[in-house]
Amino acid sequence: MNWSFQLYSARNFQPWEGVLKMLGELGYAQVEGFGGVYDDPKAFRAELDKNGLAMPTGHFSIDALENDFDCVRKIADTLGITLLICPYLVAESRPTDVAGWRGFGARLAKVGETAEKAGYGFAWHNHDFEFKKLADGSVPQDHILAAAPNIGWEMDVAWVVRGGDDPLPWIEKYGKRIAAVHVKDIARPGEGLDEDGWSDVGHGTIDWAGLDEDGWSDVGHGTIDWAGLIKALRAKSAAKYFVMEQDNPNDIERFARRSIAAAKTY
C-alpha cells in the first residue's frame, strides 16, 4: 500500500525540505497538501520529485474552492493533485439545523460539479462536529452527504470517534463514497497529554467541546483498532488513499516512523 502523510502534521518542524527527505527515507510514497505548502507550488513539486513523493490529494478551503477555483486548479496541476478535499467549516459558519446542513451540502455539491468538469475528484473531510446530534436526533454528516450525492468523503476515523460515534456503521453505509482515509490514533487515558493538539490545531477554529483530556498518539500505539478498520476499509470502501495524521506531535520523526511501521503490519 502507498501510505500517505498529511503535511499539516509537520507544520511545526520546518524546513519542508527536511520533512520531505525524512518521509521519503521512511518509506512514504505520498503526501497530502494543505494551505501551508501552496505558496510556491513549482518549488515544492521539485522537492517532492527529488524525494520520490507524489501528492495526489490536497486540502483547500471552502472559500478558495467556491471563489478562486482557477487558483486551486493551478496549484493542483503543478503539484499533481487529482483529488481536491474541503477540510473544514469554521465554528461561526456552521449551521444549527437540518436545513442549514443540507444547504451546506448543496454548496459542496456545486463545488463537486465544478471539480468534475475540470477533471478532478472532490471530497469532504470530517471532524467531530458533523457527528453531534441535532435537535431531531439526526447528525450533520448524513445531511451533508445526502445533499451532495456525487461527492466523495475523506473519512477521518479518529474524529468520528471523538464525535462519539462508531466508524464501522459509517463504513458500511457510505463505503462506496469513501475516497480517502485519515489514519489517526487516539492516546490511551493519561497518555499524549502534550500532544493533544490544543495549540494551533486544524484548518480553522475547532470547537474542542467534544475533545476529552487525552491526546493523540502514533498510529498503532493508541486506542483505535486500526488493524480491524483497515480490513473493513479495504473490503467495504472505495478508499484509494490512506493518510497518516497527528494534529500536534512533539516529535515528527518518531510519529512518522512508528506510524508507518505499525501500518505496514495491517
CB neighbourhood size of 8 (10 A): 22
pLDDT at 214: 65
pLDDT at 195: 77
pLDDT at 83: 98
pLDDT at 60: 98
Residues of the chain with pLDDT under 70: 193, 196-214
pLDDT at 200: 34
pLDDT digits 0-9 by tens, 35-94? 999 999 999 999 999 999 999 999 999 999 999 999 999 999 999 999 999 999 999 999
The span from the CA of 205 to the CA of 89, in Å, is 9
| Contact residues for 173 (Cβ-Cβ < 8 A; gap 6+) | none
Helix H segments across the chain? 16-26, 41-50, 62-67, 69-79, 98-117, 140-147, 157-162, 167-174, 226-236, 252-263
> By CB neighbour count within 10 A (0-12 exposed, 13-18 middle, 19+ buried), where does 147 fall?
middle
pLDDT at 190: 73
pLDDT at 259: 98
| Single pTM value for the model | 0.93
